[in-house]
Amino acid sequence: MIVVVAYDIVDDRRREDVAMALSGYGPRVQLSVFECDVPTTAELHRLRARLRELIDPLEDQVRMYPTDTTTYNQRYIIGARTVEERSHYWIIR
């Protein structure tokens, strides 16, 4: 199933950790939104548990919207802008 995950994370480090965890499941489609391909309900439970570990529930929020094939295929995308992932790189002198 595709799960749309949107988040609002106050702390930069926690935000990066959440983004890293979600990037293993699918593409970032907005700055704080991922479309995650979660193969099983058990994996969805593991993902939710992992996200709970990564955030501060008093400061942050994560929203997860499971979709089925029908609703996901009916999504509308307006505009062509894509989000580029930040690349980490080394500067060697």
Q: Which residues pair with 30 in a beta bridge?
A: 33
CA 46 to CA 50: how far, in whole Å?
6
Q: Is 60 annotated as a binding residue?
A: no
Residue 11: name the closest of 52, 55, 70 by CA.
55
Going by the annotation, the residues of the binding site for Mg(2+) are 8
What residue numbers does the annotated binding site cover? 8
